[in-house]
Structure 1
Amino acid sequence: MGAQSAILLFLALCFFRWSHAAGNNTWDLSEEDGRELERELKTLNKPYVKSFKDEYGITYDCVDIYKQPAFDHPLLKNHTLQFPKRSDNTNKVATTKKTLPRLCPRGTVLIRRITKEDLIRARKYARMQLQQAQITDTSGGDNHYAGVEFAAGNGPMFYGASAKLDVFQVSGVSNNQQSESQIFISKGTEGPKNYINTVQAGWVVNPQLEGDNRAHFFTYWTSDGYQKTGCYNLVCPGFVQTSTRLTPGKIYTLSTLSLDIYKDRFSSNWMLYNDREPIGYWPKEIFTNMADSSVVQMHGNVYSPFDEPSPPMGSGVLNGAKFTNILLTDGQSNSKLPVNFRKYNDLGEAYYGVDYRVQNGVMYYGGPGGWKK
């Protein structure tokens, strides 16, 4: 499989936000399904030191950092917790003037509590996306995108990427649509699908999955091409949360998300920062093919059923959203402006524009949508 074809496949598969749910063949819950959900809730929702609801009614728990769900992963039983410090991230300087408040006491981490409704939505969403992927091709279909791709090819591999993303509370996204912007780092695009490893982070408006129409911070990972491993946010073990301020799945109200993802030279874990705030990391143990990265993407993408016009991307204005301060990290932890790149846009600028300016590391993208197959 070529790199371009594999990346298009990624874009179709990246909507499989919860692979563990894909085995359910019905949208209706049986009695056994209900019992399974209850078991999963008890496993995912750990005892907490403090609990509170935000202004939107979402419950968050402050969980002992050593007792968080990540360590239920069978490959993390002997994992040594890494304690990143806010000053550890030397790739970037702080770019957001308004900082997020500390929400949990020291020694704990902020985790969004998962409800039965969350799991049911995730099951239905995963099943719908599986069915859609089986009947659509990877050249467009219901998934549309605009962005840039950096491919290592025969040159040096990548060890991270960073950018500042504009964040919008996108209006006009219906209950069964999605609008998303993210940094996507992957390895294994040249081999079989089960060799594909990825780490992903960004923001998304997805009423069907999140239960509301607000922008949420999200993470995702897989180590076998989205088949059996990985998940969206913290609905399966794997991503290690370290922040008391921001957690995957949290509503994000600031206007910028300044993301930095890079492989730590000493631990080999893949770190995730927002500005100089360490959010957490993907441990090296959960990957099979992620010693480095061969492809980095920065893009907006949207999903819509066949019978509905595509939703807005970014701000909803043509080229009205942007990624700025785009940098790639090399094997010596140096951040550099990318030189070789490929722009991609499956619908053309009438719907979702894309303009990358290599001289200053800025990509403009987004648009009103409205395309209908």
Structure 2
Amino acid sequence: MAQRQCILYYIIVVLDILVLFGVIGDSRLFTKDEELPPHKDAIKTIKTEYGDMYDCVDFYKQPSLDHPLLKNHNFHPEMRPTTVPKAQRGKEVSQKERELILDGMRLKDGGCPKGSVPIRRMPKHGAVRPPITSLHHLHHTNSSNYIRPGTFFAIAQTKNDIMKGHYGVGASISSYHPQLLSPVQYSSAEVIIKAARDSITVGTTVNPSVYKDNLTRFFVYTVVNGKPCFDGECGFISVRTDIPPSFPIKDLTTRGGPIFSQNMLVSHDPRNKNWWLEVNGEVIGFWSSQLFYGLANSGTYIACGGEVYYPGQKNAPEMGCGFKPQRRRRLKYVSYCNQFVR
């Protein structure tokens, strides 16, 4: 008998009740990527228009596969989910619109050679934001929750219920470029699935401490048994040659202009138990269930919304568009969620 698996899918078409992204002058604030040494197993290097340097590394030599629990894995670069969840996504975009959005995230010239994946050059000892380990203390949907000093969330969420499994979370998140007031701040829009000391967070962010610039970037944040990392440093296994985590978002929403959004979906594969990431309908990679204890089979908590961090500072960075919704005006869908069964 097929197991009924519920995925709570949040659609955020206009992220006005959340608020996200920012600018600190121009983009690059730290050491340039080209000044960093290439990965030892690089077979090709791609420099983007933003100055990022991505080294193409054999699929089997990407950092996440160095984990001792994955020593005898049978993964391969052609892996894809065995089932595709059917979500009610609200406004659907045409294939042409979808391709335009994806083209803004792809590496030029098709990206890396077949059988390899792009890994961005990053300093070995970069700053890492404090891990999201306290979210299980939030058990009501609330637009204002302080988790630790300097951190503010505006999220829709479920109770943390160990008796109810969640098998995915997704959202269509409007892409903005919010204003930061210092390089130690960050501002993100994200979806989260969590269980015990494990969590998966994906979304878009401006985070100078991690990415060494003020660009709005697609990001992946993984916590395995309380230990956090970004993108492909641990946990997340990429299967794409052309769309890496950390890639800048090209099409950004401006107030009064066209709305650009990124569809993010994390879903559990009932056959191989892996967690898969789709961005704008394209499979990007996965997390092996072998790494997790809490998330080995399902999550106990899911959330979608905005997060900002401003430690020891009076003024917070922007979240989302940076403006409060105009209640007297006719609003489009600000946010809504829909539950489905696969």
Same topology, TM > 0.5: yes
Output the CA distance in 2 between the equivalents of 1:323 and 1:49. Answer: 45
- Give the Cα separation in 1 of the matches to 2:309 and 2:228: 20
RMSD: 3.0
CA distance in 2, matches of 1:329, 1:80: 31
Preserved CA contact (<8 Å) 1:165 1:258:
yes
Cα pair distance change 1:322/1:166, threshold 3 Å: farther
| TM-superposed deviation, 1:282 | 0.8
Q: If each structure's helix is expressed as a fraction of its own residues, which one has the higher value?
A: 1
1:244-264 per-position Cα deviation (integer Å, ceiling 9, x unaligned): 222122212233221110111
Identity, in percent, stands at 27
1-structure distance, mates of 2:261, 2:242: 15
**Partner residue in 1 for 2:200:** 199
Q: Normalised by the size of structure 1, how large is the TM-score?
A: 0.64
Match of 2:290 among 276, 281, 285: 285
Which residue is equivalent to 1:58?
52
Distance 1:324 1:110, change over 3 A: farther
Aligned twin of 2:61: 67
Could you tell me how far 1:87 is from its partner in structure 2?
9.6
- Unmatched segments (≥5 aa) in structure 2: 1-35, 135-144, 252-259, 327-331
TM-score, length-scaled by structure 2: 0.69
- In the alignment of these two chains, the number of paired residues is 267
Contact kept in structure 1, 2:58 and 2:117, CA below 8 Å: yes
Q: Which whole-Å CA distance do the structure 2 matches of 1:147 and 1:306 have between them?
A: 22
Pair 1:317 & 2:315 matched: no
- 1:232 is matched by which residue type in structure 2? F
CA distance in 1, matches of 2:50, 2:147: 38
Is 1:108 aligned with 2:116? yes
Q: Identify which range, 293-302 or 65-74, moves more after superposition.
A: 65-74
Equivalences for residues 68-87 of structure 1 within 5 A: 68-81=62-75, 83-85=78-80
Deviations 1:224-244 (A, max 9, x none): 2x3xx3311223x32111112
1:162, 1:326 within 8 Å by CA — same for their partners in 2? no
Deviations 1:57-109 (A, max 9, x none): 11012222122112111111111215344996343587452223432222121
**Which residue of structure 2 lines up, in the alignment, with residue 13 of structure 1?**
none
Greater relative contact order (Cα < 8 A, sep 6+):
2
Aligned match of 2:176: 168
- After superposition, the C-alpha distances for 1:95-147 in whole angstroms (9 at most, x for unaligned) are 45222343222212122122xxx33332xx45xx59xx9xxx96553111101
Alignment correspondent of 2:138: none
- Range 258-267 or range 319-328, more displaced: 319-328
SS at structure 2 position matched to 1:244: coil
* Partner residue of 1:150 out of 154, 158, 172: 158
Listed as ranges, the matches of 1:259-278 within 5 Å are 259-278=264-283
Instruction: State the AA in 2 paired with 1:162.
Output: G
Q: Which residue of 1 aligns with 2:86?
A: 91
Equivalent AA in structure 2 for residue 201 of structure 1: V
Structure 1: any 5+ residue segments left out of the alignment?
Answer: 1-40, 189-195, 335-373
